[in-house]
Amino acid sequence: MEWYIKSFQELTNNDLYELMKARVDVFVVEQECPYPELDNYDQEAIHYFLKINNEMAAIVRILPADTKYQEVSIGRVMVKEKYRGNGYAQQIMKKAIEYVVNVWDESIIKLQAQEHLKDFYGSFGFKQISPSYMDDGIPHIDMVWKQK
């Protein structure tokens, strides 16, 4: 089990392929949601991921302020199905928040959450800031985390 944090430019070809394949497998195929996974934000992002036995297991994408939102944002949070139930989603979210606070010295993080994950993100201190809305056929809410 090994954690990685890389900019787009630091990703190897294999890393990039595995990231994209894992995200498409979960967000497009598993969730039956055809949407533009390749959204032109990956090039600006920090990619935090976990590999287990050299296989991509968990992923999060961190975007700097003034890219997708005015605030720093965390998105594309996912754990491959076979690795779920082991606490990797909690671990990668904690690591992503720590990165934003300790490396980028930012105190506000925004995310667009699938509505059924409100309590998961809420457990890290994210608060809902929008009513529920449909995005690509799935109910979503916007949430913000502020350092105390």
22-63 confidence digits (pLDDT tens): 999 988 888 877 777 888 999 999 999 999 999 999 999 999
Determine the Cα–Cα distance for residues 15 and 70; give it in Å rounded to an integer: 28
Strand 138-146 to 108-114 pairing: antiparallel
pLDDT of residue 7: 97
pLDDT of residue 38: 83
- Which DSSP helix (H) or strand (E) runs through 78? strand 72-79
109-142 confidence digits (pLDDT tens): 999 999 999 999 999 999 999 999 998 888 999 9
Determine the Cα–Cα distance for residues 132 and 142; give it in Å rounded to an integer: 8
Can you give the residue ranges of every domain in the chain? 2-146
CB atoms within 10 A of CB 88: 19
CATH of 2-146, one of 3.40.50.300, 3.40.50.720, 3.40.630.30, 3.40.1190.20: 3.40.630.30
Determine the Cα–Cα distance for residues 73 and 57; give it in Å rounded to an integer: 21
Token pair 């497009």 in the structure block, residue: 28
